[in-house]
Structure 1
Amino acid sequence: MNTPAFFPRIGRPLKHTRNRLYPIDTPRRSLIAKCMPDHGEARAEAAGHRLLREWYPVPALHHHIRLPGRSVLVYDRLPGGPDRGLLLDLLNTPDDGDHAALEAYMGELTAAYAGVFAKTAELTPPEAVVGKLYRDRAAPGGRLDRYYAGRDLPLTDTETGPKASDLARTGLYVNGRHYRLDWEGTRTWLRNAFDAPVWSAISQGDPTDVNLAAPLAWLDYDTAGRNAIAGEIADFSFHTAVLGGWLVPLLNPEAFVRHPATFDRVPANTPRISARLREGVLHIRFTDRLSATRRLALDRYWELFVRPIAARYFPGESLAQALRPYLAMRIIGVFDLARMTLEQRLYLLAKLALCATPDFSPQRFFDLEESSCPTP
């Protein structure tokens, strides 16, 4: 009996959310198999890939296999390795390192977005926009209900201390300024915030540092399609400024086993936070901290992409107002605040207060350079 000279080699799985990624090497190709327990999400991913490949660089999809209990999508595996292959790895460059590669990458990334958005942007009814990250999560029975319905978030370490529902009465101070934050009212606001026509464009929809490959390519396609422009901006900006360098590595460390430099950079991206009660009113003070690479990426993104987009589609203060509900969903709709440490929870509630106020300022929220902010 003849034995084949070479069998495909399947590497150890990598975990991202509920999915598993299996590296596969054959005599002709390096592949990655994405095993997904949700057949619907797999169909959405395959459809998103078909659409996106017309507009953006993406790895080829070779097979879509449906098995009992899971679907498997087999893609070309892009070049990479430990601490290589993603935008994340460029962002993990030490502050005293060479940032020329990141500068070039941000120029290429923003130019690609500008080119596609110029051809595909249009005012779109809400039902024609991908809803997974925003509208679906805010809808009855969505993630906001699963996280928070019938629960009240504690604001201290004691059982008898104030809760999030008390903020509608007392408000809270954030860095010395008083804000009214109606916790229940905010969720009601978000339930209806994504039901109006919006400016949208063709995009991948979830442009995080682990979904953008280096060299430039887009990964992960179940939110690909016609996405709200404000949602796209909110996702990249908030992930770069808050989630990607700090909270995601702490709350989902298994996703970064091949990118261990991420953990070395967490201290540089961890905000300073303090809180205390004065006469029953919560006072939160924080100072955002970002590594030089994340600050560079955020500033270039706004300067090269957001500012021109705002001038064309969001005149005056309309971008600030358009961003508010999308940022609020990134704050409370990605992770359950009740499962966080008290410091993490209070920081995000402070950020929620900032974007829930009608005079919301992206410049203050992201501590942007003046030249990187859209002007009226």
Structure 2
Amino acid sequence: MTFQPLFRVGPVRRFTRNLLCPVDLFGHSLLLKYTRNPAEAGEEIHGHARLARHYRVPALHTHLRVPGGHLLAYERLPGGTDQGLLLDLLNTDGPASHLHTYMDQLTAAYQEVILTTAWPADPAHVVRKLYWDRAAPGGRLDTYYAGKEFLIADGLVDIPVSRLNTYALKINGRRHHLDWAATLRWLRAHFATAEPVWAALTQGDPTDVNLAHPLAWFDYDTAGMNSIPGEFANFLWYASVLGGWLVPTYNPTAFADHPAAFTHVPANTPEIRRAAIDHTTSTIHIDYTPRLSAPRRAAVTAYWNKLVRPVADRLWPGEDLANLLRPYLAMRILGVYNLAGLASEDRLVLLARLVEAMSPAFDPTTYFCPLESPCPAP
């Protein structure tokens, strides 16, 4: 007969400013979440309640005020090392049938809820944390970039970012132009308008670690009425850039229980082939090869074809998806990591990606490479 302890505590993990800890208590599997911010705790509790009416979420058993913050006790779903998340389906050498089935379930659930709850909402009434608040005075755009100067790429392109507008940019053979200061002003102005935005009930931060396998949703402080283009940009950017490359590189503790993520970083890391300045023509040349593993490419493809396109056809027939996605994508590029704090090669690639997103020629279907075959070399 195997003895099962009545009380067992697992390892504590830190995710941003929160702590998570698995606990077994009298036969119940719990996940305890500790947060110091009382406002975020309230948003989490409220968001969980709203999401539970439409999506599968683990039960919230109780929430308590404790010294220094709040403690929330959730039902703990099955999982383990390299198990239990969408991340784990992406950390493989090829897209297995499990991933295709999962993406079918994910996109079907989202399509049903989004089309049922979609509404042109006042921006004051949508979840503002990931976009509006970061663009507002004192938000991340200001904290990261206001009055700050840094080089485009130390040792590669030793030109201050503020002088980008004085150079032509030739990226993978295509000519572009970007005014850094004007881009920041445009983003601030875009997210300061009162123009209605199409919003729907979603979790708001659909990352590889916030989506469980079997399908369920975690993390609820951004749950509620979210901008639909913002939801799309968030998943597409995380699946194609953050989850496979930048997050395991700069925030490895987030994947402590999913070490296979680190094995696949090279398959998702862009390669810089050329970075040079032609002073005679005031041209910066950047040639890089995007990389995306086959499972991530399959997930992005399914998300685009089975969710983004059908929803766009219903809600915005005939509208340019590039224009709808551009401000949200630019905010994801600039408002997650401070570009000045990244390695020069990574900063150069992200600036190139920003330039491409801001270009009039921006095409999301090629930008995110939603193709089953590898992205063609430029």
- Normalised by the shorter chain, which TM-score bucket? over 0.9
The alpha-carbon deviation at position 368 of structure 1 amounts to 2.6
Residue number in structure 1 paired with 2:285 = 283
The alpha-carbon deviation at position 8 of structure 1 amounts to 2.3
Q: Deviations over 1:65-122 (max 9, x none)?
A: 1123111111000100000000000000222xx6100000000000000110121001
Distance 1:54 1:235 in 2: 23
Matched, 1:351 2:353: yes
Q: Deviations over 1:185-236 (max 9, x none)?
A: 1111111213321111000000011000000000000000000000000000
**Given the alignment, which residue of 187, 192, 204 partners 1:190?**
187
Distance 2:155 2:104 in 1: 49
Most deviating of 12-21 and 189-198? 189-198
Mark the CA change 1:247 to 1:107 in structure 2 (over 3 Å): closer, same or farther.
same
Unaligned residue ranges in structure 2 (runs of 5+): 373-378
What letter matches 1:260 in structure 2? P
Residue number in structure 1 paired with 2:108 = 111
Structural mapping, 1:1-376, within 5 Å:
7-95=6-94, 99-157=96-154, 161-194=158-191, 195=193, 196-273=195-272, 274-279=274-279, 280-369=282-371
Residue number in structure 2 paired with 1:373 = none
Please, what TM-score do these two structures have when normalized by structure 2?
0.93
The alpha-carbon deviation at position 153 of structure 1 amounts to 2.3
The alpha-carbon deviation at position 7 of structure 1 amounts to 4.7
Please, what TM-score do these two structures have when normalized by structure 1?
0.94
The alpha-carbon deviation at position 11 of structure 1 amounts to 1.3
What letter matches 1:361 in structure 2? D
The alpha-carbon deviation at position 41 of structure 1 amounts to 0.7
What letter matches 1:176 in structure 2? G
Distance 1:318 1:178 in 2: 22
What letter matches 1:82 in structure 2? T
Does the aligned pair in 1 maintain the 2:153–2:345 contact within 8 Å?
Answer: no
The alpha-carbon deviation at position 318 of structure 1 amounts to 2.7
Q: Deviations over 1:118-159 (max 9, x none)?
A: 210011111111010001000110011111111112024259
Most deviating of 101-110 and 13-22? 13-22
Distance 1:155 1:122 in 2: 40
Distance 1:317 1:190 in 2: 20
Distance 1:18 1:361 in 2: 35
Distance 1:92 1:118 in 2: 31
Does the aligned pair in 1 maintain the 2:22–2:29 contact within 8 Å?
Answer: yes
What letter matches 1:269 in structure 2? N
Question: Matched residue of 2:226: which SS?
Answer: strand
- Tell me how large the CA RMSD over aligned residues is: 1.6
The alpha-carbon deviation at position 6 of structure 1 amounts to 5.5
Distance 1:365 1:278 in 2: 26
The alpha-carbon deviation at position 268 of structure 1 amounts to 0.7
What letter matches 1:217 in structure 2? A
Most deviating of 313-322 and 193-202? 313-322
Distance 1:349 1:159 in 2: 13
What letter matches 1:111 in structure 2? A
Does the aligned pair in 1 maintain the 2:298–2:371 contact within 8 Å?
Answer: no
Q: Deviations over 1:321-344 (max 9, x none)?
A: 010000001101000101101110
Distance 1:333 1:12 in 2: 30
Distance 1:192 1:160 in 2: 29
The alpha-carbon deviation at position 171 of structure 1 amounts to 3.3
Distance 1:174 1:307 in 2: 28
Residue number in structure 2 paired with 1:374 = none
Distance 1:63 1:318 in 2: 45
What letter matches 1:13 in structure 2? V
Q: Deviations over 1:297-347 (max 9, x none)?
A: 000111111110111112234321010000001101000101101110011
- Would you say how many aligned residue pairs link Structure 1 and Structure 2? 364
Distance 1:174 1:364 in 2: 15
Does the aligned pair in 1 maintain the 2:103–2:303 contact within 8 Å?
Answer: yes
